[in-house]
Amino acid sequence: MLHARAVDGLQKRPFRADPSPKTSRPAETRPRERKPAQGGYCPHGPHHFRRQKPPSRDKNPLDNQAARREGSAVNITLDTVKIGTYAVRVLCQLDDILLQANGFTMKFPERPNWTYRLKRDSRPAAVLLDNPETRKQLEDLGEHWRSRIHARIRKDWGERCFAPDENGHWRHPLFKASGTRFSCMHCGQAFPGAELAANLWHCPDPKCDGSPIDITPSEHPA
């Protein structure tokens, strides 16, 4: 019975008299050749997903365009430094600097008026963290990399976003709008351009987390 069914199936298979209908198909109706998408996402399905290459390490990793694109999703290792008996990894995550070692993570935020935050984990690194000398070395290391991030941002935006023009107007780095005072959409406060520029266009209020995208030219200039 099984055999008969199998034969039956074979017989039902459509007979193709001409094996070349594919090649004789007009060019305009031929399916387009599928190429893997450049950005990793492919509308044709996961079989075309192209693995992204890890960012190559340049002489100055902060100037590496690929690394900065990748930085939106992953941590980029910038350096590994030996302090005491610990190997401390320096990472960049969305322009924040992280120092990581067995026992702790120190986060140095991109915004200049926020100090670093220390998070200890289950493997206490008291030898390093409770010793004023090594603690200072860690702080200096984090601040060094944070200042490099700031320098890169200033370079990207251009010095005209950090100095007033001849009319005393300050230029917003993202919206290209100029003014003397700007408002923060988060806290509603208005600040002079000089104060914002000094804080890399983040809200100067230490309790507010307004970033440059939340800062707009004030409608009521003082």
Enumerate binding residues for Zn ion (CB under 5 A): 184, 186-187, 203, 205, 208, 210
Q: Select 48 or 186, whichever has its Cβ closest to Zn ion.
A: 186
Give the shortest CB-183-to-Zn ion separation in angstroms: 9
Give the shortest CB-201-to-Zn ion separation in angstroms: 12
- Give residue 208's Cα distance to chain centre: 21
- Taking alpha carbons only, the member of 80, 84, 81 closest to residue 126 is 84
Show the CA angle centred on residue 169, arms to residues 217 and 148, nearest 5°.
Answer: 85
Give the separation between CA 32 and CA 218, rounded to whole angstroms: 52
What number of other Cβ atoms are within 10 A of residue 138's Cβ? Answer: 24
Q: Which DSSP symbol is given to 160?
A: G
Give the shortest CB-110-to-Zn ion separation in angstroms: 16
Q: Select 118 or 190, whichever has its Cβ closest to Zn ion.
A: 190
Confirm if 81 and 90 have CB atoms less than 8 A apart.
yes
Q: Select 71 or 204, whichever has its Cβ closest to Zn ion.
A: 204
Q: Kindly calculate the radius of gyration of the chain based on its CA atoms and give it in whole angstroms.
A: 29
Bridge partners (DSSP) of residue 5 are none
Q: Select 94 or 185, whichever has its Cβ closest to Zn ion.
A: 185
Q: Select 55 or 173, whichever has its Cβ closest to Zn ion.
A: 173
- Taking alpha carbons only, the member of 38, 35, 78 closest to residue 55 is 78
Give the shortest CB-88-to-Zn ion separation in angstroms: 33
Give the shortest CB-186-to-Zn ion separation in angstroms: 4
Q: Which DSSP symbol is given to 213?
A: G
- Give residue 56's Cα distance to chain centre: 16
Give the separation between CA 123 and CA 126, rounded to whole angstroms: 9
Q: Select 70 or 205, whichever has its Cβ closest to Zn ion.
A: 205
Give the shortest CB-205-to-Zn ion separation in angstroms: 5
